Amino acid sequence: MKTLVLKAGRDKSVKRRHPWIFSGAVERVEGVTAGSPGSGETVLLKSAEGKTLALAAYSPQSQIRARVWSFDPGVTIKSAFFETSIAKAVRLRAALPAARHTNALRLVHGESDGLPGLVVDRYADVLVAQFLSAGAEHWREAILDALAAATGCEAIYERSDAEVRALEGLEPRAGFARGNREARRCPIIEHGLNFRVDVEAGQKTGFFLDQRENRQRVRALAEGREVLDAFSYTGGFSLAALAGGAKHVTAVESSAEALEVARENLAANPLDSSRIVFEKADVFSYQRLLRDRGRRFDLVVLDPPKFAPTAAQAKNAARAYKDINLMALKLLAPGGLLATFSCSGGVSAELFQSIVAGAAVDAGVDARIVERFGAAADHPVALNFPEGDYLKGLLVLRT
């Protein structure tokens, strides 16, 4: 096995059990053969003083040069390692309260489950897997075997089409990795509501499972309220609000395909369709149109796509977040609530709060935070990996 020797003083994060080793921290490669390790190859990490630190997957093209599989150097990285790790992750989800209310859960959440670059969501009897790192790609077949064994699911659809694969030197790939069945409208249940999930062409793996409990909170708040659901995608928040007794829901989404699924989701539930309208429009423009029409809402939900994947895009993202929140606050009636979210890893919780605060000032309204939101419990965040805490949200009351 080849060894990555870190530069002097560059082992502090590894000792704190952070799973990423950046290229600038590597002093040299040692091993019985010449040359760099192959993509996804397991390497031993050592400090400059020669102390063994961890076992990791090597990624020759990424700035994250290695991702830790285990901080126990006595572990052997082979098929059994993935069988054990995946079975443990699946058991964790089975024990969650959410498992009693839905048949759709995130089963593997990358680094926070000790499996860097691997994301697996379960939609009823279909698994959707993303192999987003060189290490996960290297062990793809063993991981697929372990997933099938741990879940009993015969159909595993692969959505390894995220842009981050390019940073690992990997080509995009999508399609059935195991089994084959019609999966464009996979039916799931969430807290009594029926949804159709397009695992083949939908955003991410097809549905935003991380917002499950936040949808429930919006459902509890919606009774008697006029609701605006911006960036509504396939109608998750909209249907939750409708089920919660909303007076009326306006769902705004720019994707015709997503709205088609949203209408199917509405039809799959015993909800009053006269109390909801779907609008195909750009949210930024449509908010201004609503303002010009003098519309007012009692509850606004802002769940936009990722504006800033990394901190480098944070400045431009901040302008976009401020724009939509400013307009949302102007559209809120006094006493109204704004549920606003950011899933951008490059925007911290502190920055996001500051952006929303600035939007309130510019909108000329007084507002206060009454709740904070995060991802559902099947998206755990390892204490040593704060980067996993990507979803942040605020419930803001306009006073």
pLDDT (tens digit per residue) in 142-160: 999 999 999 999 999 999 9
Residue 98 has pLDDT above 80, yes or no: yes
Q: Any bridge partners for residue 118, and if so which?
A: 131
Instruction: Please tell me the distance from the alpha carbon of residue 312 to that of residue 331, in angstroms, as a whole number.
Output: 31
> Which amino acid is located at 229 in the chain?
D
Strands 20-22, 64-70: pairing kind: antiparallel
Instruction: Please tell me the distance from the alpha carbon of residue 13 to that of residue 111, in angstroms, as a whole number.
Output: 15
Instruction: Please tell me the distance from the alpha carbon of residue 322 to that of residue 285, in angstroms, as a whole number.
Output: 14
For the chain, the average pLDDT equals 95
Instruction: Please tell me the distance from the alpha carbon of residue 197 to that of residue 299, in angstroms, as a whole number.
Output: 26
Coil, strand or helix at 222: coil
pTM of the model: 0.94
Q: pLDDT tier at 180 (50, 70, 90 boundaries)?
A: confident
- pLDDT, position 240: 98
Q: Do 219 and 211 contact (CB within 8 A), yes or no? A: no
Burial annotation 293-323 (CB, 10 A radius, 16+ → b, else e): eeeebbbbbbbbebbbbeeebbeebbebbbb
Burial of 240 (0-12, 13-18, 19+ CB in 10 A): buried
Q: pLDDT tier at 312 (50, 70, 90 boundaries)?
A: low
Coil, strand or helix at 197: strand
- pLDDT, position 120: 98
Torsion angle of the four alpha carbons 188, 189, 194, 199, in this order, in degrees rounded to the nearest 10: -20
Instruction: Please tell me the distance from the alpha carbon of residue 113 to that of residue 240, in angstroms, as a whole number.
Output: 29
Residue 34 has pLDDT above 60, yes or no: no
The answer to whether 343 is a known catalytic residue is yes
Q: Any bridge partners for residue 1, and if so which?
A: none
Q: Distance of alpha carbon 118 from its chain centroid, rounded?
A: 12
* Per-residue pLDDT tens digits for 262-283: 999 999 999 999 999 999 999 9
Hey, where are the domains in the chain? 3-70, 79-186, 208-398
Rg (CA), the chain: 23
Region 327-353: what's the mean pLDDT? Answer: 95
Instruction: Please tell me the distance from the alpha carbon of residue 50 to that of residue 46, in angstroms, as a whole number.
Output: 6
Q: Which listed residue (239, 266, 343, 351) is catalytic?
A: 343
* Per-residue pLDDT tens digits for 184-238: 789 999 999 999 999 998 999 999 999 999 999 999 999 999 999 999 999 999 9
Q: pLDDT tier at 317 (50, 70, 90 boundaries)?
A: confident
- Domain 208-398 superfamily per CATH: Vaccinia Virus protein VP39 (3.40.50.150)
The DSSP annotation for 334-369 comes to EEEEEEEEE--TTS-HHHHHHHHHHHHHHHT--EEE
Q: 79-186 domain in CATH 1.10.10.10?
A: no
Instruction: Please tell me the distance from the alpha carbon of residue 106 to that of residue 377, in angstroms, as a whole number.
Output: 9
CATH dotted code for 3-70 = 2.30.130.10
Residue 181 has pLDDT above 80, yes or no: no
Residue 308 has pLDDT above 80, yes or no: no
